[in-house]
Amino acid sequence: MSSGEKLLIVGPSWVGDMVMAQSLYRLLKQRDTGVDIHVVAPGWSLPLLARMPEVASGIELPLGHGDLRLGVRRALGKRLRGARFDRAIVLPRSLKAALVPFFARIPIRTGYRGEWRYGLINDMRPFDPARLDQTVLRFLALGQPKNERDLPAVPEPALSVDVRAADALMERFELPRNAEVAALMPGAEYGPAKRWPVAYYAELAARLVGDGMDVWVLGSANESPLAEQIRGHAGARVFNLCGRTSLTEAADLLAKASVAVSNDSGLMHVAAAVGTHVVAIYGSSSPSFTPALTRRKTVLYRALSCSPCFARECPLKHLNCLNGIGVDAVVDAVRAARARPPQPARQGDAPW
């Protein structure tokens, strides 16, 4: 890769994947400090991209997830022709994801074989799911020279945090400043097969309050009823912040927490990327495929014979993968995380 290459990356459409993609941007910067990285992404993700120092700009693709709208993609591609990008990397494997770089006439367009993208992708890479058995490795491999087979160490995502904004949010929401905080994220947009039971979260919150902690429940407005159920069981030291923050505001608040307990969700990856210790609870998904990219983590996963099924709802109707993870195990994980001595903010790269 030549120094100063101008690069357009077509980013993913999910929060967790967008956070994990920062590992690619960090790898590219490690290999060439002069690389100029710009990311085409959904509008909701632009503030998140602004927290990634490696990204020069986020470029909005004003479409919903799965929306084709060929004319919109063509218009954006034509608008980007004047930017004279040297190369594009297309992270999603869909045909539609490859259209903007093609319409932008970017000379080298790198991506995986998939959905008959011949011509749209002219630097076609073979897709080997056995070798690329983690989402983040699939991203990183596209940033390597074409014939390089050895996979790199994974640079941890590291989102910038606005401390003053976090302090202002605490004041706005009347959050006590003298308490140690546990953040709970009981939602998972993907589906109920990723969600540890809300009754378990409620009991966990009560136990943590009993340990002297405040509990902040974070998520979208759709998860506010879950937070209210948790607060109703555990009392006034539980604060329902669901739907009251933007994604970057949630990131700033998560950086204030001592520990975050989360399902496998986008906010789990955000918490990991701001340096908070994550207690990650996995059900239908796998901690091998979408790990929290941090050393500060405790993983709870039963690895049943039916796991991982990657289903949105339990095909066997019992959800034993999550129901079998008891509250005691999570309380123990939180207490162990609190007992650990403080760690440096970042410790380099790790082979995940």
CATH 3.40.50.2000 placement within the chain: 6-145, 164-342
Give the per-residue pLDDT at 350.
44
Whole-angstrom Cα distance, residue 199 to residue 327?
Answer: 10
Give the per-residue pLDDT at 272.
98
pLDDT in tens, 35-66: 999 999 999 999 999 999 999 999 999 877 76
Superfamily the domain 6-145 falls into:
Glycogen Phosphorylase B; (3.40.50.2000)
Number of C-beta neighbours around residue 236 at 10 A: 8
Whole-angstrom Cα distance, residue 63 to residue 96?
Answer: 11
Q: Which of 123-127, 190-194, 204-208, 324-328 has the lowest mean pLDDT?
A: 190-194
Asked whether 134 and 289 are in contact (CB, 8 A), the reply is yes
Whole-angstrom Cα distance, residue 112 to residue 125?
Answer: 5
First-to-last CA distance in the chain? 25
Whole-angstrom Cα distance, residue 84 to residue 175?
Answer: 48
Of 262, 225, 260, nearest in space to 240 by CA: 225
Q: In the predicted model, what is the mean pLDDT of the chain?
A: 93
Question: φ, ψ for residue 72 (rounded to 5)?
Answer: -65, -40
Give the per-residue pLDDT at 190.
83
Whole-angstrom Cα distance, residue 178 to residue 160?
Answer: 24
Give the per-residue pLDDT at 191.
81
| pLDDT higher than threshold 60 for residue 351 | no
Q: 3-state DSSP helix/strand/coil percent for the chain, to nearest 5?
A: 35, 15, 45
Give the per-residue pLDDT at 346.
44
Give the pLDDT band (50/70/90) at residue 343. Answer: low
pLDDT (average), residues 243-248: 97
Whole-angstrom Cα distance, residue 161 to residue 22?
Answer: 15
Give the pLDDT band (50/70/90) at residue 4. Answer: confident
Give the pLDDT band (50/70/90) at residue 340. Answer: confident
pLDDT in tens, 163-191: 999 999 999 999 999 899 999 999 988 88
The CATH class that applies to domain 164-342 reads alpha beta
Asked whether 252 and 270 are in contact (CB, 8 A), the reply is no
Residue 272, strand partner residues: none
Give the pLDDT band (50/70/90) at residue 326. Answer: very high
